[in-house]
Every structure is written in structure tokens, then in C-alpha cells.
Structure 1
Amino acid sequence: GSEIFNEFTKLCKGLVLILVGVHIVVQLIPSSLTYFALIPARTIPFGWNLITAGYIEQSIQGLVVSTLGLLFMGKLLEPIWGSKEFLKFIFVINFLTSVCVFITAIALYGVTRQDNYLYMPLSGFHGVLAGFLVGIKQMVPDQELPRLKIKAKWLPSLMLLFSIAISFFTPESATYLSTLIFGTYMGWIYLRYLQRKPESKHRGDPNEDFAFSTFFPEYLRPIIDIIASKFHRNLCGKSEAFIDTLGYSLGSAPLPGSDPIEASRRREKGARALEERLAAESLNAAGKKSEELQINGTNNV
């Protein structure tokens, strides 16, 4: 067991300790939720809960899922992004997701006038986990998961589809669904437009294989592309206009960061990291089997 735990990064193990420690504090002092969970009616005086809420798991089930997700997905993403960028991703996605959840709760209260939208304590690391799935989609989109035969590029979409389906049968869906949706979307926004690439000194990933429409089935993509293009113009119109004034255009030259060679290099790096991890696990398993055979042989003698 200790050998398996040693395979995870120090940063991820440190973050797990924080999640576990905060969970214990919340269980021992339930009133702390009032100050550190996201309660929309109290967020204005307690603005810091937009940051702290993402690190509070109220249930043991949520803690287990967040811990395992952080360890295993962090094991793949942190070596590729680097520890600093990995930590930055967690902080930014957690904060932006909390802001979106807060705004959504206020809007839902305005429409329904149900007080539970204002006073329900919202928290959890699952928004960041949803963002991690988007990172895996970006890095190794065509990598198939062992046994499941599902390509990594569909993980965020399947997770959201499954969560939405469950929400029709569980009254607690308000506590997690919006966080998962916004965690996925903010993860894509960050990786698509904001993440800095040290190797190219540019931001984002404008590659077509990482467009917003790739979260949807093929037959829906033309419609999604029309909607997404309007958002893209609003978000990136000024920067593209500035590029055009310098003599570049979308048709004549690729925008910074959209070089297919760079995208291919990034994905090869992600695939290589995943293959190395799987190979290391296979070697460890083979080594354990050989040791067991030797021990059994010695005992038989």
C-alpha cells in the first residue's frame, strides 16, 4: 500500500492532506461551514468562501472521490504542466467555479423565490476534478481507458451526462450539478484561452480538436460552432483585431499557439507520460508476482 502511495506526487499528497484535514475540522466543528462553505446569502460579508468552499468536503463519499481523483489525475497532469501551473489551475478553476455557482444560486432564487438556493451550504473539490477531466481530454484525447474502451476525450461529456441524468432522481443535485458544469466549462475556458505555454510563450490552445463543440456529438457540432463562434468573437475579438493590424489573419497565417506541430507535440508528451506511468505500474505488478513465486518456491522446498 505504501509503495502505491509513493507513486503520487508530493503536491497532490499535500493537497489530499488539506482536504482530509478540512473535512475533519468540519465534522468536529459543524458551525465552521457557516464561515467557509459557499452560502450565497452570506457570501457578500464572507467573500473568502468563494475560495475556501472548494476545499471542503462535507461527506465521506465526496472526500474519497476527491482524494482518488486528485491523486490519479494529478499523477498524469502535474508532470506535464509543472507543479506551479498545476496549483494555479486548481486555484483559478476553484475560484471561477465558485463565482459562477454563486451567481447561478442568486439567479435561481430570483426566479423561484426558494430560500434553499440562498442558504444551502455549497462546497466540494468536484469542480476542480471536472476541470482535470478537461485537461486529460486536451492532453490525451485518443487514449482509451483500460477495460472501458472509452476515449479520454469523452470523459468530461460522459461525466456531465451521467450527473445530469442522476439529478432527476436525487434532490441533492443542486449541491453538485452546477459545480460540475461550471468546473468543466471554466476548465475549458482556462485551457483554451488563458493557460500560458512556456515552450511557445503564448496562451491557450486554439486547436480545432479542442473546440467547445468537441464536447458534443458530431451531429450537434455545426449548431454548437455557430453559438461558440459568437462567444469567441466577444472574448477574443479585440486580440484578433490587433493581430490583424499587424498583418496577420486567420486565413493566411495561424494564430499564436494554433500551430498543429505544437499541438501534436503537446499531445505526444501527454501520451508518453501516460504510457510511462502504465509501464511502470506493469513492471511493479510483474515484480510483485515474481517475488511471490520465489517465496512460494522457497516455502515448498
Structure 2
Amino acid sequence: MKAVLERIVKIVEEERGGLMNGGKTVPFRVLIGVSIVGHLFTLISPSFFQLVTLSPSSLFGVQLWRLLTSPFVGHNLLVLSITVLSLHFGVRLLIQEFSTAHLLKTFVITQISSSILLCILSYFLYAIFASSYLLYEVSLCGMAPIIASVMVLVKQFLPDSIVIDTGMGRIKYTHLPLNACLFSLIASLLGLVRFVVPLEILVGTQLSWTYLRFLSPHETEAVIGDPSEHFAWASLFPSAFRPFCSLISKATFRSLVKCRICKRKQIRHVDVTSLLSNGGPSSPGMRTMPLPMDGERKDAERRRQKALAELNKRLKEQNEKKIDWDEDEEEEEEEEERPEKVVSETVSLTPSTIPSQSDPPIA
């Protein structure tokens, strides 16, 4: 907790020092301001809330404009506070890697698609169980899907960075989406938020991951999605459940490929002969080799940096041990040299005591 507070203070100081200049975060500050104003109007006028909020029945009543107004209203101050913190500190962290247009596009797609999917789900529940509660009486409001999207983006950007180091284990950025789902569920059971908020965060997490994994275009290269290993669907869960989740994800993906909803990852090839000949004709028997995708290169770079850090740490420990060993070896060598000197002196004195043949015999 102390590390998190120090991080927040540092970010606030950087904000005060003008590190967020250039207008990159202005759209997100506008979102925060409009959301705060919308919640104030909601608390003042309940009729205003009924006018701009979204319910599944109103969506299919050709009132599509509610998709754009419902994220900025709500009654829950806890959800509003978490939204402000996510948009402020989360965007402050993400703007180092992603552009403003990419973040806004991800947020808009996640928010609107989550609302539409929940409306469709309410109709399925009404058709199967004849339950009209979610269809008519529940209002979808607030930016809970955007909170989930921020968590997924942070996981994609800094998967191995540590947020909190506790005695029971380390909480990393890669654990944020799951922690957001669990926290919202506990808050819902305690009555702090409505029961639809955990459902919005869960759906927002899945949809934002799907978009970033398969559909999001790369900003500098012609690459779609992020196929890196650390961003797989199983990585959203704890390590103990990942083997089982990997089986589920593989079976689901194969089913979607057979239904022609998804496509398998395309592997780019390069002809080695034409590279060596600067564009010349390649031999018919020359095989091609795959080039790594952009996401795989990023994943390989992260693993390389981690391996280098561990190697430097081990080398440092070995150098410290080597210094101790060298001192011990020098002492042992000095102790060994002393008996050798004594023996050599004894050997040098012994021939002088033995009589040589040239000496006269003793009478």
C-alpha cells in the first residue's frame, strides 16, 4: 500500500510539473468532467436520469442515442470515483505506449458493445426464463466497461510490473482485470453497487480483450491484434487455473475457426535467396522461413529483458562469492608455500653433510 501511495504522489507531482502537456489527455479530462456533471444532474433531478439512461427495452425502441448518454450518468459515487481514478492514473500510464486515438477507440468500442451485448442477454433471459426484470427494470449507466478496458490495456502494456508486494504474494498489473471482477462482485454482495456492475465489468473485460487480441490494428505496422503469449486468454486467470483455461480457449477458438468466424494467425514468409541477392530470383528449392509477428517480438523482448536482469543478478552474486573464494585460495596458497620452502631448505642442506668421493678416507 505504501508503494502504491508513493506511486500516486509521484504521478501527481509529474502532473503538476507539466509532464502531461501536449493535449494528449485533454479528451479524457473532458470525459471525467462530463461524467461528474452528469452524476450531479442525476442526483438533483431523477427525471433527467430517466431521460438519458439506457434500458434494454428502450434500446430496441429505436432510442439509440441513449448508448451515448448513459455512460455519463449514475447514482453510485463509488463507481464514479473508481472511474475518475481509472481514467486519470490509468491513462497517465497508458499514454506512454498508446496514442490518444487508440485509447478512445478502445473505450468507445468496449462501452457500446458491452451495452448492446447486455441488452441482447436480457432478451435471451426473458425468452428462456420469462424474467422481465433485466429487460424493463434495470438501467445500464456509468463507465464500468471502460474501467475494465483500462485494466486490460494496463495488463497488455505492463504484464510483469509489480503493483503491490504483500507477504502472501505479489500483485502485478496482469492481475488487475481479475481483481476488478472480484472486487465488483464483493461490492455487489455487500450492497455497495448494483448487481449489474459486476456483469458490466465482466463483459467489458472479455470484449476489450477480444478487440485488442484479434481486431485492434497496430499503430506503426500492418499487424492486427496482439498474439503475444503474455496476453493469451488463459493469462486473465490465476496460474493454477491456466492449464484448464488454455484447453477451453483452444477448443473455443477451433470451433470459431470451423464456423469461419475467426481466422487462424497468418504467418509471413521471406525468401532467403532473394534477400541475399537483393531482390534477385530465388531458387525453386529454397524454403522460406517465418518472420515473427509484432506481438511475438514484443513478448520476446520482454522475456529477454527479464532474463538479462536475472542473469546480471546472478553474475553479481557469483562475483561476490568469487572474491571470497579468491581470498581463501590466496591464504591456502601461502600456507602451502611455507612447507615447500622448509623442505627445499632441508634438501639444500642435506648434500653438504654427505661426504663426496674426492674427500680423503677417514682413518
Shorter-chain TM-score range: 0.7 to 0.9
Q: Is 2:160 aligned against 1:142?
A: yes
Return closer, same or farther for 1:50/1:202 CA change in 2, 3 Å cut-off. same
Q: CA RMSD in A?
A: 3.2
Q: 1:22 matched to which residue of 2?
A: 38
Q: Which structure 2 residues correspond to residues 218-237 of structure 1 after superposition, within 5 A?
A: 218-235=239-256
Residue 59 of structure 1 aligns to which amino acid in structure 2? N
Return closer, same or farther for 1:175/1:38 CA change in 2, 3 Å cut-off. same
Distance 1:242 1:64 in 2: 40
Q: 1:60 matched to which residue of 2?
A: 77
Q: 1:294 matched to which residue of 2?
A: none
Return closer, same or farther for 1:164/1:70 CA change in 2, 3 Å cut-off. same
Return closer, same or farther for 1:261/1:210 CA change in 2, 3 Å cut-off. closer
Q: Is 2:64 aligned against 1:43?
A: no
- Kept in 1, the 8 Å contact 2:79–2:193? The answer is no
**Number of residue-to-residue matches in the alignment:** 264
Cα deviation for residue 201 of structure 1 reads 1.8
Q: Is 2:151 aligned against 1:122?
A: no
- Kept in 1, the 8 Å contact 2:110–2:149? The answer is yes
Distance 1:35 1:133 in 2: 30
Cα deviation for residue 127 of structure 1 reads 1.0
Among residues 255, 259, 263, which one is paired with 2:296 in the alignment? 259
Return closer, same or farther for 1:230/1:53 CA change in 2, 3 Å cut-off. farther
Distance 2:34 2:214 in 1: 29
Q: TM-score if structure 1 supplies the norm length?
A: 0.75
Cα deviation for residue 34 of structure 1 reads 2.7
1:196-218 Cα deviation digits (max 9, x unpaired): 11222211101111100111223
Q: 1:179 matched to which residue of 2?
A: 200
Q: Which runs of 5+ in 1 are unaligned?
A: 269-301
Return closer, same or farther for 1:109/1:220 CA change in 2, 3 Å cut-off. same
Distance 1:82 1:266 in 2: 24
Q: Is 2:175 aligned against 1:154?
A: yes
Residue 301 of structure 2 aligns to which amino acid in structure 1? S
Residue 297 of structure 2 aligns to which amino acid in structure 1? P
SS for the counterpart of 2:47 is: helix
Identity of aligned residues (%): 24
Distance 2:76 2:239 in 1: 38
Q: 2:114 matched to which residue of 1?
A: 97
Residue 90 of structure 2 aligns to which amino acid in structure 1? M
Residue 264 of structure 1 aligns to which amino acid in structure 2? E
Looking at secondary structure, tell me which structure has more helix per residue: 1
Q: 1:32 matched to which residue of 2?
A: 48
- Kept in 1, the 8 Å contact 2:151–2:176? The answer is yes
Distance 1:261 1:157 in 2: 23
- Kept in 1, the 8 Å contact 2:228–2:299? The answer is no
Residue 67 of structure 1 aligns to which amino acid in structure 2? V
Distance 2:164 2:244 in 1: 33
Determine which structure has more spread, i.e. the larger CA radius of gyration: 2
- Kept in 1, the 8 Å contact 2:76–2:193? The answer is no
